[in-house]
A and B are shown apart, each in its own frame.
Chain A
Amino acid sequence: MTPLNGVQGHDRRTGPADSADGRPASGLYVYALVPADSRLDLAETRGIGDARVHVLPHGDLTVVVSTVELTVLEEVNEEDLSESGVLATLARRHDEVIQAVFGQATVLPLRFGTLVRDRESAVQVAEQCRDQARDLFVRLEGRREWGVRLLRPDGAGTEGTPRVPEGSAPAPAESASQHPAQASTAGSSTSDRDHAAATDEADSGTAYLARRSAALKEREARRRHEERLVEGVETALAGYVAEALRRRPPSPPLLLDLAYLVDQDREPEFLAEVDEQAAAVTAEGLGLETTGPWPPYTFARLELSTSSP
């Protein structure tokens, strides 16, 4: 994987020019939009690069920003995803600011890494987001995001499956070497084969195919069973939530990854139901994980194309 730094020379050429004294030009990091009537106290909040977080009110929207060096993101290297890496540190800080705002207002988080050149541009973002932001604020007000994951822990897949006795499963090489012997017994009578079955015949092609067929049936039954469990959880939780979004398609062991938007008034009921569902699926050998509460990251779905005047 090519480090992103490797392709950023292009950005440096066409991006903002360094100031005359050679220091990198600064700009504004945009964290979030909130309704202008929000009362935000962000005195204790520090943004990217430990900068103070400011608000820029414009009309009925307020933009939450902090001043940054425009080179602040250039250190990001996606090869380093450790907790102490640059990307992790910046992303955590981004999240902290959003969380701080979210604790005080209905928030529309912007995607990580949104930088503008100056406050005029930040205000323009507010100007051009205005109508869609208003609609989103109505949908998101008083609600928080929760994540629910349903997964198949290690070993759950084989529970209830008739396991082949230890040591009796033919390795591919063994099967091949036994083939001539099997061919010789294939022509013999049923009673002959029953005799032989007492010993080596357990590993014969017939027995192998029977086991294999049973295993396939078992696997299909298990898949259907898991599907029913997933549906059960979705149906049970749907009654308590304002909106639900699948965060990604299932790929075992992850069977379900949902984001829920929940009215804060209904959170106790929702979480009680989550606990109940967790107990139910745990009894079936699956795991249910909950994360949250989150700012409505997954539900702040808005893509805007802006242009300079």
Chain B
Amino acid sequence: MSLQPSASRRSPDSLADVLERVLDKGVVIAGDIVVNVLDIELLTLKLRLFIASAETAREMGMDWWTRDPFFSSEAGRSVADGGGQERQEMEADRLRALEVENDDLRQRLAALESTARPELHGAESDRSGDPERADEPRRTDR
């Protein structure tokens, strides 16, 4: 599959890696040519919120989350027992950062849900007609 087979893949692509790339990146076409069956913006935002939970991250192969005491009760226990005050502080910092990020994402989500939806889909109502099939591709000259 690669142009240069000698350079092998470094690690299997976790689902999170794939989703982050295919949902969040790539060429975005907006406008009434596109059929908006899925609101990808919304899906991407929800996914980011979702990824912020440890269980989901673990399922999705983002195991660096689970190695951290903040997300892992297993590791967290040793922190509590050992007293590591500085670690607890770092976790509190991260918790605050996550809360801020989640608030931000939720606000954007709410804004999208309340305003973007009619704009995104309203333009489609006037488009109809037989969808032309691509089963027999033909060369179309400009």
Contact = CB atoms under 8 A, between A and B. Distances in A.
A166 B80 CA distance: 11
Contacts of B13: 95, 291, 294
Interface stretch (A102-110, A193-201, A233-241): A102-110
Interface string A108-152: 111111111111111111010100010000000000101101011
Contacts of B130: 118
Contact of B35 (A100, A117, A163, A219): A117
B35 A115 contact: yes
Which of A54, A121, A298 neighbours the largest number of chain B CB atoms within 10 Å of its CB?
A: A121
A38 B21 CA distance: 24
B93 to A, nearest CB: 8
Given A54-B137, A164-B82, A298-B21, A125 B50 contact: no
Contacts of B9: 291-293
Given A287-B64, A297-B22, A306-B31, A78 B7 contact: no
Interface in B102-142: 113, 117, 121-122, 124-125, 127-135, 137, 139-142
A154 interface: yes
A105 to B, nearest CB: 9
Given A26-B133, A290-B10, A163 B84 contact: yes
Interface string A35-77: 0000000000000000000111111000001110011111010
Contacts of B75: 154
A306 B117 contact: no
Interface in B5-45: 6-7, 9-11, 13, 15, 17-40, 42-43
B131 to A, nearest CB: 5
Contacts of B43: 4, 76, 78, 87, 113
B19 A87 contact: yes
A291 B28 contact: no
A55 B28 CA distance: 19
A117 B127 contact: yes
Chief secondary structure at chain B's binding surface: mixed
Contacts of B82: 163-164, 166, 169
Interface residues of A, number: 116
A72 B35 CA distance: 12
Contacts of B97: 251
B84 to A, nearest CB: 6
Given A163-B84, A268-B6, 11 more contacts: A11-B37, A15-B37, A16-B131, A88-B19, A95-B18, A117-B129, A154-B69, A164-B85, A253-B68, A291-B10, A293-B9
14 contacts: A14-B121, A56-B134, A58-B142, A70-B37, A111-B25, A112-B40, A114-B29, A117-B33, A169-B82, A247-B20, A267-B4, A287-B64, A291-B13, A306-B33
Q: Which 9 A-B pairs have the closest CB atoms?
A: A169-B83, A306-B31, A118-B132, A59-B142, A215-B86, A297-B21, A290-B10, A154-B67, A112-B22
Interface of B: 1-4, 6-7, 9-11, 13, 15, 17-40, 42-43, 46-47, 49-50, 56, 59-60, 64-65, 67-69, 72, 75, 81-87, 89-90, 94, 97-98, 101, 113, 117, 121-122, 124-125, 127-135, 137, 139-142
